[in-house]
Amino acid sequence: MRKLATLALTLAASPAFAATEYGFFSLHNTNFIVLLAFLLVVGLLVYFGVPGKLTALLDQRADGIRRDLAEARALREEAQTLVASFDRKRQEMAAQAERIVADARAEAERAAAQARADAAQAVQRRIAGAEEQIAAAQAKALREVRDRAITVAIAAAQEVLARQMTPTDRARLVDQSIATVAQRLN
């Protein structure tokens, strides 16, 4: 309030304002009228709480951005956890494959001691079976990883679209879908 009073006194004491015919504080002085209008507008803005509402809106926006960032961090951490989990599963499958191969070789050596001809055929069958199991296990692990990644991506996309989609956008998409169906039926 002091700053406003100081400003008014400074404006009133300036030589340009004192040189007018009626003085500065006259309704004939356009500078005085402009000053009054300016002070009235500023007073109305303060009276109706516009600065407070603006800061509240800015605070809401900042909170929304903070929430979005926190959610993005959480999704990233979840994705990293999933990647680590799938890496562990892949390593376990590799260890299991190594055990299967080691078991097949041990069996082949025992069978070779009994009968070389039968052992050669048995080894070939067991190695082929182990490779199929490894291939099947790897394919299964890849399918699980892919399915989980798709599920997470779809869920994240649904959340993002649900937040960003306004009711008018939803209505527009429904209208476009109806038009597309109508075109394809004709």
Give pLDDT tens digits for 23-34: 788 888 899 999
Distance of CA 10 to CAs 14, 18, 20, 63, Å?
Answer: 6, 12, 16, 42
- Cα–Cα distance, 39 to 26 (Å, whole number): 16
Distance of CA 88 to CAs 91, 145, 185, Å?
Answer: 5, 12, 50
**Residue 184's pLDDT is what?**
86
The answer on pLDDT for 16 being more than 60 is: no
Distance of CA 122 to CAs 42, 53, 108, 134, Å?
Answer: 95, 82, 7, 18
* Cα end-to-end span (Å), the chain: 73
Average pLDDT value for the chain: 84
Distance of CA 35 to CAs 21, 25, 27, 40, 175, Å?
Answer: 18, 10, 11, 8, 54
- Cα–Cα distance, 172 to 154 (Å, whole number): 22
Range 131-160 average pLDDT: 88
- Cα–Cα distance, 41 to 59 (Å, whole number): 25
**Residue 134's pLDDT is what?**
93
The answer on pLDDT for 159 being more than 60 is: yes
**Residue 160's pLDDT is what?**
77
Write down the H helix ranges in the chain. Answer: 2-13, 15-18, 30-47, 50-114, 116-164, 167-185
Percent of the chain scoring above 90 in pLDDT: 39
Is residue 119 a contact partner of residue 108, using CB atoms and an 8 Å limit?
Answer: yes
- pLDDT digit string, tens, across residues 83-139: 989 889 989 998 898 898 889 888 878 877 787 878 778 888 999 998 999 999 999
Of 33-37, 39-43, 91-95, the least confident: 91-95
Distance of CA 56 to CAs 102, 106, 133, Å?
Answer: 68, 74, 62
- 155 versus 3: which is more confidently predicted? 155
User: What type of residue is 54?
Assistant: L
